[in-house]
Homo-oligomer: A and B are copies of this chain.
Amino acid sequence: MVSIKDVAAHAGVSPGTVSNVLNRPGKVAPATRERVEAAINELGFVRHGSASTLRAGHSRTIGLSVIDIGNPFFTEVAAGVEDVASELGYAVILGNSAGSQDKEDRNLRVLAEHRVRGVLITPSGEDPARLERLREHGISVVLVDHPAHRPDQCAVAVDDVGGGRAAVAHLLAKGARSVAYVTGPLTIRQCVERREGASAAMRAAGLDPADLRVIEAMTMTARAGEKAAADLIASGLPEAVFCANDLLALGVLRALLRAGVRVPEDVALMGYDDIDFAAASTVSLSSMRQPTYQLGRIATELLLDECDNPETHAHQHIMFQPELIARESTQ
């Protein structure tokens, strides 16, 4: 393996000069710099990142810990993260907690061992202690799609209460007076907050929030949505259905159409997330769009700013507003 010493010998300079060419090219006379660069190319030298990290005391690596890499939501976030990181020469270590605290802990430990510069995380539980441990090791943490645990910390989230409110307000504005909320497990923060928003919209329209019919599915999949729709049909259809995500909504849509229920004439329907397929479905689906890619980009920019400019960095709590996309299912 060719090291900085080999390059130095080949170019007739000292290792320190090679290091300077690599890290502060301005400090080296043009002629020498060219000689060193030629040597680097000739020998095919690649800097040893670990040695550099060890000596410099910090790496050019960040960690990304998500709850479910299979969910298009997180995938888009990851794309935003990866783009920014790659633009700035940072590597991204990916961790998928798959909803398990154990796995999340394992991943965080790996990140700590790698002395990552910082961590972007959508925490799977509500225990801030584990993140405190990272901070004690000098690793910055930015929360993604989650409100901040504390003031001296950056967080980027989307207003789920506001999203739920807007969705149901839209349904009510279309004339619906009875609304059902098909949700995933109510252990999930997002599901709970969207319900709160839904209730608020009912209240604002002069309806009793207690009349919001809540159907809780075990998973947030299309199949679970079909089952929920069967429940709805059996117990009497509402005029509108609001689903906690698009997969549930697509399942509901399918079951309703099969049962001969017309959408939106008989029942209006809203999803959440605005995944690609929402627009492509046979009756195109109204949904709440979240700026997922931006979420990833901005979280990463905040994190790297916090790492690279610790003295000027101002911690921010950013709350995006989701955008209502009205399509055929609520015409």
Contacts and interface: CB of A to CB of B under 8 A. Distances in A.
Contacts of A95: 82, 86, 92
A48 B109 CA distance: 11
A1 to B, nearest CB: 7
A79 B96 contact: yes
Contacts of A107: 86
Residue from A70, A83, A137 having most chain B Cβ neighbours under 10 A: A70
A50 B54 contact: yes
Interface of A: 1, 44, 46-51, 53-54, 59, 61, 64, 69-70, 72, 75-76, 78-79, 82-83, 86, 89, 91-96, 98, 103, 106-107, 109-115, 133, 136-138, 221-223, 247, 250-251, 253-254, 257, 276-277, 279-283
A5 to B, nearest CB: 15
A79 B72 contact: no
Contact of A59 (B50, B109, B136): B50
Contacts of A91: 93, 110-111, 114
Nearest to A276: B222
A15 to B, nearest CB: 16
A99 to B, nearest CB: 13
A89 B113 CA distance: 11
A130 to B, nearest CB: 13
B247 A115 contact: no
A33 to B, nearest CB: 20
A113 B54 contact: no
Contacts of A75: 69-70, 72, 75
B46 A113 contact: yes
Given A94-B93, A136-B44, A254-B280, A114 B49 contact: yes
Residue from A51, A110, A133, A280 having most chain B Cβ neighbours under 10 A: A280
A106 B91 CA distance: 10
A1 B137 contact: yes
Contacts of A49: 50, 113-115
Nearest to A106: B86
A282 B279 CA distance: 13
A69 B78 contact: yes
A281 B279 contact: no
A58 B98 CA distance: 28
